[in-house]
Amino acid sequence: MTKCDETRRRILDAAATLFRRKGYGATTLEDIGRLAKLRGPAVYYYFKSKENLLEEVLNIGIERIQGAVLTAVAAQGDDCSHRVRIEAAVRAHLNTLLSHSDYTAANIVNYNLAPKKIKKNHLARREAYNDCWQRLLEQAQLAGEIAGHVDLRLLRLFLLSALFWTHEWYRSDQDSIEEMARKISATLFDGIS
């Protein structure tokens, strides 16, 4: 990794952290520069514009979580139950979002209010991630582990909404991610009755 790449990464990290914490609009390039240990305008050496920087942060945010989820699912092997696979996916999602990187949280916080152009460019990645989950659920339904009458689209939206919004209330000192994943999965499959 050249020094150039390393600086670029430092800027991205700083941006992710600040976009998450204060939001895109309230973060100045000078803020980012400060955290990345250089001056604001230096960002322009590495990125075309602030929007551009946002775009990249958003992309990394999705890539990371998607990578983590896919890896986790694959790691379960082929002979385990779909319930186990889905729980692994939940765990991986939460781990990435809540403890491994600011990029994904920055994505959630900023996607909605991002400039239209950015949203448009980014949409495909979001849908790709949704598709991962959709497939996961479909396979479980095919295998009979999810009842046939369940509306998978709604289930997915509902589940991902819940998973994404954990970052708004999660406190690392109160909740264990492992446990959360287990409980969420249990609630989902068995219900609360």
Partner DNA sequence: TATGAATGAGAGTTCATTCAT
Partner DNA sequence: TATGAATGAACTCTCATTCAT
Q: Which residues contact a copy of itself (rule: CB under 8 A)? A: 22-23, 25-26, 109, 112-113, 145-147, 150-151, 154-155, 157-159, 161-162, 164-166, 168-169, 175, 180, 183-184, 187-193
For residues 50 and 85, which CB has a smaller minimum distance to DNA in the complex?
A: 50
For residue 2, the partner it binds in DNA, a copy of itself, none, with Cβ less than 5 to 8 A by kind, is DNA
Return d(Cα 160, Cα 157) in angstroms, integer.
5
For residue 180, the partner it binds in DNA, a copy of itself, none, with Cβ less than 5 to 8 A by kind, is a copy of itself
For residues 73 and 114, which CB has a smaller minimum distance to a copy of itself in the complex?
A: 114
- 173 residue type, one letter: D
| Residues at the site binding DNA, with contacts judged by CB under 7 A | 2-4, 7, 26-30, 33, 38-42, 44-46, 49-51
For residue 22, the partner it binds in a copy of itself, DNA, none, with Cβ less than 5 to 8 A by kind, is a copy of itself
Find the shortest distance in angstroms from Cβ 9 to a copy of itself. Answer: 24
Q: Are the C-beta atoms of 83 and 145 separated by less than 8 Å?
A: yes
Query: What's the token pair of residue 120?
Result: 């448009």
For residues 48 and 153, which CB has a smaller minimum distance to DNA in the complex?
A: 48
Q: Are the C-beta atoms of 56 and 25 separated by less than 8 Å?
A: no
Q: Are the C-beta atoms of 145 and 82 separated by less than 8 Å?
A: yes
Return d(Cα 8, Cα 17) in angstroms, integer.
14
| Listed residue (68, 88, 177) closest to 140, CA to CA | 88
